Each structure stands twice: as C-alpha cells, then as structure tokens.
Amino acid sequence: MERRITGFIVLLISVASYAQQDAQYTQYMYNTIIVNPAYAGTRQSMNIFALHRRQWVGIEGAPVTNTISINTPISESKVGLGVSVVNDQIGPSDENNIAVDFSYTINTSEEYKMSFGLKASANLLNVDFTKLDQYPGDPIFEQNVDNKFSPNVGVGFYLHSDYSYIGLSAPNLIETEHFDKSATSSESHIAKEKINYYLIAGYVFELGPSVKFKPSLLTKYVPGAPLQVDVSANFLINEKFVGGLAYRWSAAVSAMIGFQASDSWFIGYSYDFDTTALASYHSGSHEIFLRYELFKKYDKMISPRFF
C-alpha cells in the first residue's frame, strides 16, 4: 500500500519541482534533445524516443514524467529538426510541454562538428487543488488552474565527434509566472519558472575490440537553487549490452542497463537509490526508455554511437 502524505507535503513537493524546474532524468545521455535543441539530427538518422519515469515510488503525488520525441537530419543538408512532448505530473499539477527544435551544423575540423540549436515551446499547466488536503478558507485553494498557457524559446550549442561531445544550453529563456494567488497583486505568484542552464559532456574510450567505456556529465544551474551535478559511467559490450552506474550529487545513486535489440531498437532501464532523508518514505525511482532509429545513410548500423 502506498504511504499517504498530507496535502501540505504534496504541495511542498509540487513547489520543489518548480525550484527544480525542468523534468529530471537519470538517462539524460540518451534524451539530449529535451535539454539541448542543437542535438536535433546529429545522429544522422531519424530518432524516435519514448521514456517513462516514476520518481519516489510509494509517495502519493510524487513526480511522474512521460516523454516522447522525434528528431532527424533533413536530407543531405546541415539542418536538423525535432519535436518533443513532455508530460510532468507532480502532486496536484499536470504540465504538458510541446517543443519544436531546429539545428544547424558546421564542420570545425576533420573530426569535430559544431551544431547550433533553437527551441520554441508551448507549456500548458493544470493544477487541481481538490487533490490536496485543504484547510477551510485558505485562499490558495479557491480556484484551480486550467490549461495556463505560456510560450518559451531556448538555445543550445553542441560540439561533437564520433567519440566525444560537449554542449551548453538554456532550453527556456523566458522566466514565466505560472499563476497568481491573488487577482489584486501582480507580485503574488505561487510558481515562477526560472532559466535552466545545462552543461553536458561525454567521451568514449576504446578499452578493447569489444568493450567501450563512456563517462558522461550533466550539470544544471538554476538561479536560487542548488547546483545539480550528475555523473555516470557506462560500459558498452559487444555493441549490444550497456551497464553502468550514476551519481546525482547529494541526491541519488543509480544503476543503468541497456540492450541493443537490433540495428534500430534500443531499450534502457535505470533504478535510483535515494541518498537523502526522503529515502525512508519510498522505494526508489524507476526509468525506462525505448529508442527506434531509421537510418538514412546506411542500410544498417555499422557501429552504434554511444550517445
């Protein structure tokens, strides 16, 4: 049976999510387009990706995230396009983000390419306060939020080769005030979406004819919130099996596995072990994804890229 928590704690989780801002992923290295539009089309294939994340299992109102995206290069041009939809459910809130990504890639050397990206997005927020345990007469709960619309734009840079990458991005450049507590005060807001800055990096080491090792990094900075640092270490064996560990600074340790089922299909799973005091109240976090690639330049995949 799931442990029940009071509406007050659910609201704290909901508000904390806005401090965290964007949805959180353990397997960010496969889901790069969500945080960096410059990634669109850089795999030189049509890439369809779906992910489900259930965080803090056992706590009512804990975050649940569903993501689906598609990105592709445009013919033989230097242009890449992508579309993504993210649904984030936290406590009484249900938020949908729809984004369109554009990238342009240039060669900077024989090995490296630089991609520039733009993201345009639309956000729809719903908050149903009837899901909370309420105190009678509290004005916060007097009116739900229904499909609160807010547009946004973002930018990204992505330097990459066949064995390494580094990227810097801000997927949401407009700070959005989601909704008012009081119709008479323009300064009274329950949630404000601040700019999220991302730094991502990774490198592939050839340890032998059948083993590759890839350490990777994601750093997220949000003004007014603690710096988030995720580091991971994955091994690719026989171009088929992936296994590794990840650490989210002062938050969680994760185990990750993946399987290249065919040239086009790849499936991955991760489990997060919480390292905070909240660990006593839940049984961890689960994340599973499925990726399908339709190759344009080759009849089959010669050597699967590790990112």
Note the pTM of the prediction, 2 decimals: 0.86
Question: Tens digit of pLDDT for each residue in 193-222?
Answer: 789 999 999 999 999 999 999 999 999 999
pLDDT at position 297 is: 54
Predicted confidence band of residue 157 (pLDDT cuts 50, 70, 90): very high
Q: Residue 1: pLDDT above 70?
A: no
Q: Is residue 62 part of a domain?
A: yes
Q: Strand pairing partners for 99?
A: 84, 121
Question: Tens digit of pLDDT for each residue in 95-153?
Answer: 999 999 999 999 999 999 999 999 999 999 888 877 776 656 656 556 777 778 899 99
Q: Is residue 306 part of a domain?
A: no
Question: Tens digit of pLDDT for each residue in 9-65?
Answer: 444 444 444 444 678 899 999 999 999 999 999 988 999 999 999 999 999 889 999
Question: Which CATH number characterizes residue 136's domain?
Answer: 2.40.160.40
Q: Is residue 32 part of a domain?
A: yes
Domain hosting 26: range is 7-295
Q: Is residue 162 part of a domain?
A: yes
Q: Is residue 1 part of a domain?
A: no
Q: Is residue 301 part of a domain?
A: no
Q: Is residue 186 part of a domain?
A: yes
Number of C-beta neighbours around residue 248 at 10 A: 19
Q: Tokens 């919480």 map to which residue? A: 274
Q: How many domains does the chain have?
A: 1
Q: Is residue 307 part of a domain?
A: no
